[in-house]
Every structure is written in structure tokens, then in C-alpha cells.
Structure 1
Amino acid sequence: MSVATTPTSCTPPSTRRRTRALAAAALSSLLVLGACGDSGGGGSEGEAAELLTEEQATTALLTSEVVADGMVEVPAGAEEDDDAEGSLGCLDALDDIKEAEAPVEVDRDFEAENEFALPALTTQVVSYDDAGETADALDAFREAIEDCDSIDETDPDGARMQLEIELDDALTNEAADEQANLRATGTISAEGVEFPFGIWFAVARVDNHIVTVGLTDLTEEFGDRLDAYVTVAVDRLAAVADGEEPAGTAVEESGTVS
């Protein structure tokens, strides 16, 4: 099998389409925190907490001014790639935790303006009216993927995704109360072409609110950029939760925050 470490326009269109679809499916499967709260069947009971309004939650999201890597915002309601079929292996367990929607849930997506639409970034802010429910949502995410250490799946069109998965709870920003992180790196192959591929995903809780940041790209090394995005995302959420305007902090392509 030939290995393309730098995808070009010579790559078959169907391969580019499948790669985009698999990347989109991977991020979609991880973006479940808004739909995994307690459904009234015995979850943790916490103190009542103040919800963000939808406007506040939207303000907390990462913006075009923050995002680097040549990515632009995907218009709300943009048509999704309908080729995103097939299993994502042990990550499919996340589907089982979708029980009750959070009262407030907003998201925003970004992607590069190239044939693969990669790198791609997704960010979500979720607000619950019960602090215990918020902690339950993060616990449910952890428990669903705690035994997920690798993916080796082939979709109906023959595109194969092989990824090794690492999980940890390291805090990126001390303003967060807790955090769960997933890194999945390896390859995607189709039609005799193989690309390096990576998914980086972080979920951070600030009081009764959750912010998620996910990145996908045709590389196995994304440097410090996820940490930079999470740092800014947590700062923005904490500021909005305190009734303040978030700072206009941006992430540079080097992974530094300015």
C-alpha cells in the first residue's frame, strides 16, 4: 500500500470524500455531552445551579477570531456529509449514554478550506440546572470509553480506520473543576492510499457547565494546539459564567495563546 503523508489533489475524489466523512463521524460520536444527563432514573442529586442562557452559551463558544490553522466557521445548518456510515468500534458505546437533553446546548464547527476540510474543530457548551447532573454527564462519558484502547474498523466502502487510543483526566486549565481527554492516532486508508490521522478531544467542567473541544487532522501529532484551544475555551466559559465578557484571546498556529 502506498503511503501519502501529504495529501494532494491527485488523491482520488472518493478517498477525499470518505476521509472527510470519517473525520466528521468521529467528532460527531464524541460530541454527546448535551444528551447524556440524568433522565430521572437515579442519577446524582446536586445543588440547584444557575443555567446559562442560550445567548451566554453561544458567547462562550470559540469564535473565528480565536481559531487558527486556516480554519473557517462552518455555517449553521450546513448539509452534513451523508457518507459518514459504518462503525467507530468501541467509540460507538457513546451512543448508549444519550438519555436526556441538557436544557442549554450550543455548538460551532470550523474546518480548513481544502479538499479534505481538515483540520477540523468542533466546540460545544452545555449548561445544566443541577451540578450533580453535570458531573454525571462527564462520568457517563468517561465510563462509556474507559475500556476503549483501539479502533480497527472498515466502512461499507472499504475505507479503514486504525487508531490507538489514550485517555487521561489531566487538567489543561485550572479554572476547570475536572476534565476528560481522549487522543486517538493512527491511519485512514482507502483505494490503496494511506494517511496519518488523529483525533484530539477534551471535555472540561466549570461548575454546572461543560465545554468540549475536538480536533481532527491528517497527522498523528497536533502539538500543543489542543491544549491552547481548551485553555481559551475554559477561560471563555468561566468568564461568561461569572457574568463577564470573554477576553479576545486567540490561538496561534504554533499552539501558543495570544
Structure 2
Amino acid sequence: MRTSILLATTTLVAVATLTGCGSDDSSDGGSKGGSALLSKSELSDALVTLDDLGDGFKVEKDDDDDDDDDTNLGCLNGLDELGDDDSIEPERDEESSFEADSDLGLPGVYSTVGTFKSTKDAAEVLTKFSDTVEDCKAIDETDGDGFRIRLDVSSDQDKTDDGATGQVNLNATGTASGDGFEFPFSVRFTAIQIGNDVALVGYVNAVTDLEDADDLVQRAYDRLAPIVDGKSAPDLTPLDLDIPDARDLVGAAAGA
């Protein structure tokens, strides 16, 4: 569905560009106190997992349509330029992406964790992310097929937990419309820094609010924090994320 593709693209652009390409270095690093590089296995342990999401989700399949470079995100297009900035490229990173096992494939959940040489380098990711999105307040774009997205956009630096060194949150809520139908959707993208490590988490869904995204961001922090402290990956209760039914959305749109 086109809505799913567009929503996924919004967050994937941010996730892919802010983490850069990373490094192929697979050496084991140790991770005490956020001062040493996390190893590849530690990075994997710090990711949001399929077990975190529970029943109703699956690993997202690669789809060439999601890589459409012509998608116009208005004032968020600047995120794409960050991908060419070597100063925010981690030493190494791991990522995962999931989608609801449904017709819509929503919500989409994207998790990336990167480890940097220094706390300063990690902070630069948040600084450049914040600088790129702070002036973006609204998106209203229509593509060549008549598919329109309208989003109210805001950003802040509110921390999910006091243990975070820094955090930047991008919030966008609005609608997508085309072929006579209009659907609600929301996007959350958050970068959480703990020392010299950064967790990036994205959430996209055909809903009107970001309450579930708050829980997801908390989970991203809860995954990374113990790994940075040199502890084992925690065993956490699955989240209860809303999975919208396409029939309900179509019915609501038709009755509007």
C-alpha cells in the first residue's frame, strides 16, 4: 500500500542518513561506562528486537519501492544531506526493522545503534539532527500521482530517562490522502545518546497520536543502557503496540 511505503520512507531516510555507512570492523570492543567502542554483538544486543514487539510483527522485507529517491518530505529533506557528512559516521553500527504482519504493514519500527570514538562525536549526531529539523513545522506535499501528505512537525530535546547524555525527538502527525481516501498517520524519530553510543529509533503508523512511540523510545533506552554499562541484554515484557486494521481505516475514510 502506498501509505505504508511513504511512512516507511520518512523514517528510513532519517535512520539511514544519520548512521552513515558505519565501519566493517567486527572486532570485539568492551563497553564499560560508555567510554569504549561497543562490539558488533553488543550493538546487536542493544537493538529493539522482534521479541520486544510481541505477536503480530515480522521482520520487514526489503522493497525496492521504499528506496524511491523522488519522495519529497518538504522541510525534512535536509535529513538526506546528513548521509554525506563523515563527521557523524559511527565506527560501527547494527540495525533492525520490523513491520506489522498485516495488510498495511503498520506500524513500522526501525532501530539502529551506533558506537563512536568519543562522546563528542556521538553528540555531534544529535546536534546536526536537531539543527536540521528544528525549523521544520509543517509538511504539505503532493506527488505526481496526486498522493498528498500533510504533517504538523515538532522537535524537542526531552529525555526519556535521566541516564541519557542527550536526546532529540522528531514528532510528526497528520494525514495521507489519495484516490479519494484520507488516513491519519504519525511519525516519531528519536536519537538517544549514552556516552559515546547512540540509539536511533523510528516509528510510523496510521494513527492520530504518538503514545505507542513513547513506549518504543523507552524500550530503545532500556535496551542500550545496560549494554553500555557492560551488562547482559535485559529480558523485557513485549510492548503492546496498536496495529490498525485496513478495513477500519477505509471505512472511516469513506464515512468522513
TM-score of Structure 1 vs Structure 2, range by shorter chain? 0.7 to 0.9
Identity %: 33
Shift of 1:105: 1.4
Where does residue 63 of structure 1 map in the other structure?
49
1:185 paired with 2:173, answer: yes
Where does residue 91 of structure 1 map in the other structure?
76
Letter paired with 1:182: L
Q: Could you tell which deviates more after superposition, 144-153 or 90-99?
A: 90-99
The whole-number CA distance in structure 2 between the counterparts of 1:69 and 1:187 is 27
1:21 paired with 2:9, answer: no
2:218 to 231, 243, 247: 231
The whole-number CA distance in structure 1 between the counterparts of 2:121 and 2:167 is 15
Three-state SS of the structure 1 residue aligned to 2:198 is strand
1:79 paired with 2:63, answer: yes
1:52 paired with 2:38, answer: yes
The whole-number CA distance in structure 2 between the counterparts of 1:107 and 1:128 is 15
Are residues 154 and 254 of structure 1, via their aligned partners in 2, closer, same or farther at CA, if it must alter by over 3 Å?
A: closer
Shift of 1:33: 2.4
The whole-number CA distance in structure 1 between the counterparts of 2:187 and 2:241 is 18
Number of equivalences:
226
Shift of 1:71: 2.0
Letter paired with 2:166: E
Shift of 1:203: 1.1
Where does residue 4 of structure 1 map in the other structure?
none
Residues 2-32 of structure 1 deviation map (CA, whole Å, 9 limit, x = unaligned): xxxxxxxxxxxxxx2x112101210112213
Where does residue 135 of structure 2 map in the other structure?
147
In the TM superposition, 1:1-258 aligns within 5 A as 16=1, 18-31=2-15, 32-35=17-20, 49-68=35-54, 70-74=56-60, 78-82=62-66, 84=68, 85-98=70-83, 99-100=85-86, 101-223=89-211, 225-253=212-240
CA RMSD of the aligned region, Å?
2.1
Q: Provide the TM-score with structure 2 as the length reference.
A: 0.82
The whole-number CA distance in structure 2 between the counterparts of 1:145 and 1:36 is 21
Task: Give unmatched runs, 5+ long, in structure 1.
Answer: 1-15, 38-47
Are residues 162 and 97 of structure 1, via their aligned partners in 2, closer, same or farther at CA, if it must alter by over 3 Å?
A: same
The whole-number CA distance in structure 1 between the counterparts of 2:67 and 2:239 is 32
Task: Give unmatched runs, 5+ long, in structure 2.
Answer: 23-33, 243-256
Alignment check: 8 A CA contact 2:134 2:154 kept: no
More helix by share: 2
The whole-number CA distance in structure 1 between the counterparts of 2:101 and 2:241 is 19
Alignment check: 8 A CA contact 2:6 2:66 kept: no
